[in-house]
Each structure stands twice: as structure tokens, then as C-alpha cells.
Amino acid sequence: MSMKNILCIGAGYVGGPTMAVIADRCPDIKVTVVDINERRIAAWNSDELPIYEPGLEEVVKRCRSRNLFYSTDIPKGIREADIIFVSVNTPTKTFGAGAGKAADLQYLEKTARSIVEHAENGKIVVEKSTLPVRTAQAMSRILHSNTKNLKFQILSNPEFLAEGTAIRDLENPDRVLIGGMETPEGEAAIEELVSVYARWVPRERIITTNLWSSELTKLVSNALLAQRVSSVNSISALCERTEANIDEVTGAAGKDSRIGPKFLKASIGFGGSCFKKDILNLVYLCGHYGLPEVADYWEQVIRMNEFQSRRFVGNMLAAMFNTVADKRIAIFGFAFKADTGDTRESPACSVCLQLLEEHARLNIHDPKALGNAKLDLEGATGEINYLEDPYEAAEGAHAIAVMTEWKSFRELDYRRIFDSMEKPAFLFDGRNILDHAALYEIGFNVYPIGKKALTHF
Ligand code: NAI
């Protein structure tokens, strides 16, 4: 195999962990990760990595300076690379045509243009970012606008890692998907990338398809996952009205092997940088291709998610005598899920903003996400305190709202917490992770999701 240098443009939540695992599993390949963000690159080169992922630090420390490098010298990286992964952000567009739905592809296009500018030979360019179906066509046009007569092969290799389990997912993926052109050159490029993954991923889990199927599969996978969350959450609302219990319902329904037990947990809703953005992208594409009914169908998944966090705050208000003004509320968890410091699109943020509008005073505690929480709530009006210690966060509070399924929340001394709170003490479990009967016994008024509330009055 001729390939020796891999470059990844974009050192974020995907580029960082993905390249660390490739470097770890392929010691003979030099992997360089570049970014325009100097601070981020400096952090990747330091003891304090820019993102938290279980197991990431160990992998990075093992490979850094051996065959894994972080740099801001993008031109040099491009010149030396045989394969270039593009892993830049593709957020929802906030301006102009398609604002609020379409993907903002400016970072991707800028990356393609810098590849054209600095490349001195042909390369394989891999779309790692999540993109609208048919982006590879635009990518190809830009790359082939070069006047150096260079030939590029474009592959789509979407990333399916989940934050919080990124390293585990990368080391042992359910599948790796690689799409390419259905030409001899396209197939050779696919094989070259397959041979990288095949060093640690069983061959039958490496799926190859045409470019468009691969691009679309990533959007569809996220849409199906988010749809499952919204479907369960919609039923949780009905459970609360009928005394059915959501865990009993999904437990029994999930026993059907066609449904399956995973990803059926009721909660305050999904968050993270991808689900909402990717569904909006899908909705936009369906509209663009003249399929408004399909667009409406998927848009409802997002509406249900927003409804769930509004409903949660509505339940808090109703339970707390229709006012939370001046009441201190302990927010347990701000990350969009456990085991990450990422707070992008976290439902906790939406709940906090709604509570601040109601003039509540917030004590926010999260084991990993307080820094990001501060940035997210910068400019929000009202009293917000950020506390490393959950006991301090709960002291003097009227209520606790559990927003993230951190394991540490299950291990707290809730008797001690209860004793330090205002009475009546309320606990709203937005993740259904605590022992509700035990909390009720201690004296809490407990409000789970999709289950009967346990109250003392
Ligand atoms: P991120 O925002 O953490 O990282 C993207 C990085 O690209 C930033 O550090 C940014 O400075 C850099 N960048 C932007 N333009 C650049 C340019 N012209 N040259 C060099 N660097 C540039 O984003 P994240 O979360 O890593 O996502 C990247 C892509 O992967 C997105 O398309 C996302 O949808 C997709 N994805 C994300 C997953 C996640 O869990 N975060 C999972 C699977 C896919």
C-alpha cells in the first residue's frame, strides 16, 4: 500500500477522536490533524485536551508525537497528505436562503478551496462531516477547478460515533460506511480507505455503497434515532395522563424483536449538535426535491422534542403552585448527555432559559460541562450560580431538576440533600434515573417522566 500520510481538516469532536484511533491502530501511518482554530490545536497539544471523552486522553497520549500530530499549518498538511479527511463543522444556516434548515456549507467549501490551492498532486478527499446528499458533486466541481490538472477522488465516510462513547464506538463500530464513485478509480479509492479500517474493523462491518447512499445514510440514521426518542416522549405525555408507566410500556413493547429494547428511554428530549441539525437538513432537502409531505413528517420529530421540554417546565410550574419566581432551583446536569462536556443543543439549556423567564434562581451543577454552560447562558438575565458541588447546588433550593443522566447523580446522599432544601422539596427527574420510591420515602415530591408523580399532598 502506497499511502502513508493522512490529514484531517477540522480538530473537533469528530476529527480529534477519529484520527486518534486511526493513529493508534495504524502505527505506520502518519496522521496530522489541522484546524484554523489555534487555541484548539494548542489544547490538543497540551495536557488539557479541548474535549472530554472517556478513554480519549490515553489514546492521544499514546500516539501524540509518534504518528499523531496537531498543527495549524494547513498548506503543509495538504501538500504532504495522500488522504484528506474533511471534518469541519456543518451547522444549520442562520442567514439567507434556507436559513434555519439548510446546512451551512461555507466551511466545507473553504476547505475544498484550500485543498485546490495547496495540493501538488492528486488525492483522495473523504467527506467525514455530515452533509446534504449530493454534496460530493459540488465538492468534485470545486476540486477539479484546479489548473494543475490534478485528479481527486471523493469518498463519503460519515461518522457514526456517539459522544460519550466515541472511543469505544470508533474502536468497535457497528459498521463503517464508505461511499464512492462507481468507476474503476472510485472503486480503487474505496479499497484504499477500506484497507485503513480493515486493520481493526472486521471486513463484514465495512459497508461500501455509492456516494449518494452514503451521504444520505448519515442523515437517515440520525433522523431514525431522533424519531425513536420523540415517539417515546410523545407516549410519555399520554402515560402521565392515564397512569400507564412509560418504562413498563417501552419495556414490553421493546421485547418485540422488530422494535428492540435500545433507545426507548423517555426523557426531557434529545440534544447534541447533530440530531436537530441533521433532521432540519433532511427536511430542507425533502422540500428542495419537491416532497413537502416527507418534509412535514420529519419536522414533527423536532416539534415533539421542543414540546417535551416545554411540557417539563409546565409540569414544574404546575407542581410548584404555578410560580417559581424567586425560588432557587438546582439544575443537576447541563451536558446534553452523560459522559461528555458538550452542551450543544442541550435540553438543559432550554429548560434553564424557560425557568429564568419565570424568574427562578438557578444553581447549576454538572461534573464536566460547567465551562460550556457558562458560555451558553452568557447574556441570559437572572440569577445563575455554577457549582462544582451538587450538595451546595441543592442547599436552600425548592426543587431539583435532573437534566443529564450522569451516573454520579444516582450515588448522592439524598437524605442529606433533602435536609438542606426548602420544604416542600420537589424533585423533577428529566431522565428517569433516580430511585423514585426511595426519594419519596425520604420526603421528596417526585415527578418522573411518563409515570405517576409521587407526592405527599
Ligand atoms: P466541531 O465544531 O467540534 O469541529 C469542527 C472544526 O472544524 C472546528 O474546530 C473548526 O475550527 C474547524 N474548521 C472549520 N473550518 C475550517 C477550515 N476551513 N479549515 C480548518 N479547520 C476548519 O464539529 P464536530 O462536532 O467535530 O462535527 C464535525 C462534523 O461531523 C459535522 O458535520 C457534524 O455534523 C459531524 N458529526 C458530528 C458528530 C458529533 O458527535 N459531534 C458525530 C458524527 C458526525
Instruction: Dump the DSSP string for 294-318.
Output: HHHHHHHHHHHHHHHHHHHHHHHHH
Give the span between the Cα atoms of 21 and 30, in whole angstroms.
12
Distance 15 CA to ligand 1 centre (A): 7
pLDDT in the model for residue 35: 98
The reply to whether ligand 1 has any atom less than 6 angstroms from the CB of 36 is yes
Give the span between the Cα atoms of 205 and 175, in whole angstroms.
5
The reply to whether ligand 1 has any atom less than 6 angstroms from the CB of 273 is yes
Retrieve residue 1's grid coordinates.
500500500
Give the span between the Cα atoms of 44 and 12, in whole angstroms.
10
User: What atom of ligand 1 comes closest to residue 114's alpha carbon?
Assistant: 18
Could you report the average pLDDT of every consecutive run of 10 residues in the chain (457 residues)?
A: 82 97 97 98 97 96 97 98 98 96 96 97 97 96 95 98 96 98 98 98 98 98 98 98 97 98 97 96 97 98 98 98 98 96 97 98 98 97 98 98 98 98 98 98 98 96
pLDDT in the model for residue 126: 98
Extents of the domains making up the chain: 5-201, 211-457
Give the span between the Cα atoms of 248 and 252, in whole angstroms.
6
Distance 273 CA to ligand 1 centre (A): 10
The reply to whether ligand 1 has any atom less than 6 angstroms from the CB of 87 is yes
pLDDT in the model for residue 4: 87
A 10 A CB-CB count for 334 gives 29
Close Cβ partners of 200 (under 8 Å, ≥ 6 residues apart): 25, 171
Report the Cα 240 to chain-centroid distance in Å.
28
CA-nearest residue for atom 25, ligand 1, is 13
The reply to whether ligand 1 has any atom less than 6 angstroms from the CB of 35 is yes
CA-nearest residue for atom 21, ligand 1, is 35
Ligand 1, pocket-test mutation among 7, 8, 9, 13, most atoms within 8 A of CB: 13
Q: Where are the beta strands (DSSP E) in 87-171?
A: 124-127, 153-156
Give the span between the Cα atoms of 311 and 350, in whole angstroms.
12
On whether the CB atoms of residues 57 and 49 are closer than 8 A, the answer is yes
Q: Do domains 5-201 and 211-457 have the same CATH topology?
A: yes
Give ipTM to 2 decimals: 0.99
Retrieve residue 438's grid coordinates.
426511595
pLDDT in the model for residue 324: 98
Q: Which residues are catalytic?
A: 274
Closest CA to 161 of 266, 289, 312, 12: 12
Annotated ligand binding at 336? The verdict is: yes
Give the span between the Cα atoms of 43 and 49, in whole angstroms.
5
The reply to whether ligand 1 has any atom less than 6 angstroms from the CB of 163 is yes
Angle in degrees, 0-180, between the axes of helices 15-25 and 56-63, rounded to the nearest 10: 50
CA-nearest residue for atom 17, ligand 1, is 111
pLDDT in the model for residue 1: 46
What class, spelled out in words, does domain 5-201 have in CATH?
A: alpha beta
Helices (H), 243-274: 246-253
Task: Provide the 8-state DSSP code for 66.
Answer: T
On whether the CB atoms of residues 370 and 336 are closer than 8 A, the answer is no
Q: Domain 211-457 in CATH: superfamily?
A: NAD(P)-binding Rossmann-like Domain (3.40.50.720)
Strands 399-402 and 384-387: unpaired
